[in-house]
Amino acid sequence: MKIYVINLPRNVERMENMARQLAALGLSFERSDACDGYAMSDSELNAAEKARPLENWASPGHIGCLFSHVSLWKRIADGADAYACIMEDDVHISPTFARFLKHEESFPKNFDLIRCEYSPGRLLLSRRAIFTDVETGIGLYRLRSPSWGAAAYIISRSCAQKMMDIPENQHRVADYLLFDFDESPVARNFAIYQLSPAVVIQDKDIVNKSLRLHFKSDLDPDYVASLPMGTWNAFRTGNFRYLWRTLRGYKPLKYEV
C-alpha cells in the first residue's frame, strides 16, 4: 500500500521524525508537498474562502490543509491503486500499524475510508469487529458516528473520486468532509471503518507532555489535550449530551502504544 505523508518544506524536523518512524516499521512512503495557507496572498485566501462559503475558515492553515488533502485525493482518484494511506506529519505511529497493514486481505470489500488515528471524545462503533488481530487485539469496526481528525486514514480510489466530485461551494475542512455524517455532503453515504484501539495519534492529542514532540500546530495553536470527561464529571457539569451518548454506546477511543 502506498503511504503519502503531507509535509511543508519548512517543517524539516517533522519530516525527519516521520521518516524515522516509518523506516523503523519497514514501511516506505512518499512525501507530498503541503499547501501553505500562510504563504497565500490575501487575494488568494479571499477567493478560496468566497468559493467555499459553508465553512468559517478560522485560519489560513485550514485552507492549506484542505488543499493538501484535495491534491492527494485527486492523485489517488486518477491513479491505478485501489487504495492508499494518507498521513499528516505530526503523528506518532504505533508499531502495530505495520502489523495491521499485513491484514490487507481482510479489509472490507468496497470500503471507502479506514480511520487509523485516535480521536478525542466518544465514538459509536459497531458492536462486533470486522476482524481482530489476535496478537494485539486491535479490531476494525464500522464507524457509526461523526468523527474528526484527518491525520491518518486509508482512502479507496472510488472514495477519492467521490471527494473530487464535491462542488467547491460545498467544501469544508478536510476531516468534516470525510467523517462528519451531519455536515458533509457525502460522508453519510460512505462505508467508514475505525481501528480500535487506534494505531496513530497526533502529537497534540497526547496528554502526557513528556511524550510529546511539541510540534506547533498551524491549525489549532491553542489546543490543549485533555483526558476524557468521564461519567461523573458529566453528571457534575450537567453535560447531558455526553451522558445520552454514553447510554447509546458511545465509547472513548484508546491509542495502542
- Domain locations along the chain: 2-252
The pTM of this model reads 0.90
Range 215-221, long-range pairs (CB < 8 A, 24+ positions): 215/11, 215/13, 215/14, 215/90, 217/61, 217/90, 218/37, 218/38, 218/59, 218/61, 218/64, 218/65, 219/58, 219/59, 219/61, 219/62, 219/65
Q: Give the per-residue pLDDT at 215.
A: 76
Residue 16 — φ and ψ, nearest 5°? -65, -40
Q: Is 185 helix (H, G, I), strand (E, B) or coil?
A: coil
Give the start-end residues of each E strand in 152-226.
Answer: 152-156, 192-196, 200-202
Q: Give the per-residue pLDDT at 158.
A: 98
DSSP code per residue over 90-159: SEEE-THHHHHHTTGGGSPTT--EEE-B--SSEE-B-SS-SEE-TTT--EEEEB-S-----SEEEEEHHH
Residue with cell 489476535: 134
As a whole number, the mean pLDDT across the chain is: 89
Q: Which of 66, 118, 61, 107 is nearest to 84 (CA)?
A: 107
Q: 142: how many CB neighbours lie within 10 A of its CB?
A: 17
Residues 6+ apart with CB under 8 A from 91: 18, 117, 151, 152, 200, 201, 202, 203
Contact status, residue 40 vs residue 48, Cβ threshold 8 Å: yes
**Tens place of pLDDT per residue across the chain (257 aa):** 999 999 999 999 999 999 999 999 999 999 999 999 999 999 999 999 999 999 999 899 999 999 999 999 999 999 999 999 999 999 999 999 999 888 888 899 999 999 999 998 889 999 999 999 988 899 999 999 999 899 999 999 999 999 999 999 999 999 999 999 988 999 999 999 999 999 999 998 888 877 877 776 666 655 555 556 566 465 566 665 655 466 667 888 998 76
Q: Give the per-residue pLDDT at 213.
A: 78
Q: Give the per-residue pLDDT at 250.
A: 81
Instruction: Let me know if 237 is exposed, middle or buried by CB neighbors in 10 A (0-12, 13-18, 19+).
Output: exposed
Q: Does domain 2-252 have CATH number 3.90.550?
A: yes
Q: Give the per-residue pLDDT at 132.
A: 93
Q: Give the per-residue pLDDT at 211.
A: 80
Q: Give the per-residue pLDDT at 19.
A: 98
Q: Give the per-residue pLDDT at 155.
A: 98
